[in-house]
Amino acid sequence: MKKLVVLILLMVSSLCRAQYSNHQLYQAYLDQDVTIWGEYIASTEWDNLSIEEKKQLLNYEYGYTAVVLGKDKEQAKAMLQRYEQHLLVMKDNLPPARYEAYMASVYTYKMALDNTRLISHAKSLFACINRIKDMDTRDALALSMLGNVEFYAPTGSKKRALEYFLQADSVYSIQAEEYELWNHQAVKMTIEQCREKLRK
């Protein structure tokens, strides 16, 4: 009986995941309405996922946290807590540069949510960025995070940002996972923003 219950739970979990294909999730990103991302994240049982499925979910949690950050502070806090918890669990299953890139995003989100610890979070963010630089990585997410910091930081360089984004674009073009299509599209859009800024 117990085995039957476990089997049913696994089947229900698989069915929930099947309802949200990467194609649908990517199309939602292109349509600029990622409500479905929130539904996918909320309906997916972390403990029932394989390592690869956890990597996929983590990537959407990373993106969705940024989305809710500008809409609902309390929801963003809850989403960030979930995302950071999953990230820490996955530390040994991620390439070091990717883990540091995700951690950099955690501190970026914390800076937006908690002004009382702005300096502390900024120091942690740049510690992650410096560790990525020391790795001489070819991880697309890590390269795009380096680009983001150069692009948005007051002391950053749009020219260096463009170089990082172009490197990330090149890597994504060769070896992106299906769930990273939105990351690649985001990089392409930021490349155009960089070029526009540099033209001015």
Q: What is the pLDDT of residues 3-28, one digit of tens each?
A: 543 344 444 444 444 578 999 999 99
What is the pLDDT, as a whole number, of residue 12? Answer: 42
- Look up residue 183 and give its two tokens: 């990351």
What is the pLDDT, as a whole number, of residue 5? Answer: 38
What is the pLDDT, as a whole number, of residue 48? Answer: 94
Predicted TM-score of the model (pTM): 0.89
- Look up residue 63 and give its two tokens: 């993106």
Question: Which residue ranges in the chain fall short of pLDDT 50?
Answer: 4-17
What is the pLDDT, as a whole number, of residue 1? Answer: 55
Do residues 76 and 65 touch, judged by C-beta distance below 8 A? yes
User: Furthest-apart CA pair in the chain: how many Å?
Assistant: 69
Q: Which long-range contacts (CB under 8 A, 24 or more apart) does 76-80 make?
A: 76/109, 76/112, 76/113, 77/113, 79/41, 80/106, 80/109, 80/110, 80/113
What is the pLDDT, as a whole number, of residue 138? Answer: 94
